[in-house]
Structure 1
């Protein structure tokens, strides 16, 4: 029954967005351009240098493309969580609690901004270019890795989104802190982690964990040794990491909702 309700809600949202196709296409283009901001930075950097963190321009583009595609997919389904602080401040979240549906699926289904497909499209275009200009040895394993990596990355990003936004149950105005983690992770994963140093790399690569979105899978696809000396098998564990992040996000969200007491206003 719940699945049917969600399908009806999403169908209504999508039908409304596609009613004005010209506006929809322009919105998709704007989203693609916005996602391409980091791409411009990468290209400008390689006008001055020949390698970045031990990676050539085409190799960096592969990392960027995998991360960009994953983030675009995550933003499409989990970006609605950015509205959580407003739900809490206005007391609208209490309405979600009264319905016989999960609060997290309700939030995620509250809107499905199809225009964010532009972000996914932008990443896929760069991914196609990067694959054509890198020496990838194609085997059934590498094809499977290529197909699974963006999905696993999207799950990791979405789990990070849930974890970061859960803070808003205790810090009602904690959206900026959440954005630092979510959108900051998008920027971080667009580059090889070898360009970072110290605590930032350890935090964003393994605690968050952004390195498994694109960096390690890209190394596996390129059959490239990690400049930092990490074992090669890390390139194949993104689905496991995604499952762990999703599980932790679910537990954290459930705990936060159970201890939610409203804003008192």
Structure 2
């Protein structure tokens, strides 16, 4: 693990130095990335210009959900966003070269073409969360502050693990990149709003099948002091780290299975 993190850090540093050779281009790309992501926030503003509450959540509470979701997603996207390109690398045959390098394949795929412009998503999530925290009607305590930190970290692990798990499918079906987008970008959009609006059946699926509810929904119920619409045990509000760990282990196993199944495309 230590060697993998060290290799990842070296590769990221190399790509950052390469990107900074063209600072004007990097700055413009970062600004454009920030403007694109602001569209999601604009949708929230438009929505609440027409209504006062969404599933009993007001604008302040939704901004809290938005900020935690976007910050967690941004951290996962920054670290593992490039695994989306695995199918392209397999088709081009460039994944073969990664198999003979002295570094893990997941480390290389994640760090390949790393771009600091992805920091724009992290920054936006952090700013929105920073604005929402003093606005929500919460009696802040050390436990609630710790929960906010835990939910962001656990959410980032969940988003990252889903990304890796979906990418492992590309070893079998190389043209299924949309699958990753459905669970990652789609999951980010889902968790920006109260999950109660999607109905009880959808909430069950997002709890027990695709555990996106543990990104910020269940921890937010604890922080905001809200009841669970499914009436599930309160212990689930503290289960995000366990869900993140289980999904990370599953993603690691899925990635290793995909690498074992891989057959070179030739050159």
Name the TM-score class by shorter chain.
over 0.9
| Alpha-carbon separation, structure 1, partners of 2:4 and 2:230 | 47
Aligned-pair Cα RMSD in Å: 1.9
Which residue in the other structure is 1:162 paired with?
Answer: 164
Q: Deviations over 1:5-27 (max 9, x none)?
A: 44332221112223344433332
Q: Deviations over 1:81-132 (max 9, x none)?
A: 0110111111111111122321111111213211111111111111112111
| Alpha-carbon separation, structure 2, partners of 1:118 and 1:5 | 24
| Alpha-carbon separation, structure 2, partners of 1:204 and 1:165 | 20
Gaps of 5+ in 1: none
Deviation (angstroms), 1:173: 0.8
Deviation (angstroms), 1:199: 4.5
Deviation (angstroms), 1:52: 0.7
| Alpha-carbon separation, structure 1, partners of 2:237 and 2:264 | 43
Instruction: Give me the TM-score of the superposition, normalised by structure 1.
Output: 0.93
**Counterparts in 2 of 1:1-265, with a 5 A limit?**
4-197=6-199, 199-263=201-265
Deviation (angstroms), 1:200: 3.6
Instruction: Between 89-98 and 26-35, report the one with greater CA deviation.
Output: 26-35
SS at match of 1:242: helix
| Alpha-carbon separation, structure 2, partners of 1:216 and 1:76 | 24
| Alpha-carbon separation, structure 2, partners of 1:2 and 1:42 | 39
Gaps of 5+ in 2: none
| Alpha-carbon separation, structure 2, partners of 1:167 and 1:114 | 27
Contact 1:35 1:68 survives alignment (8 Å): no
Aligned length: 265
Instruction: Give me the TM-score of the superposition, normalised by structure 2.
Output: 0.92
SS at match of 2:184: helix
| Alpha-carbon separation, structure 1, partners of 2:211 and 2:264 | 31
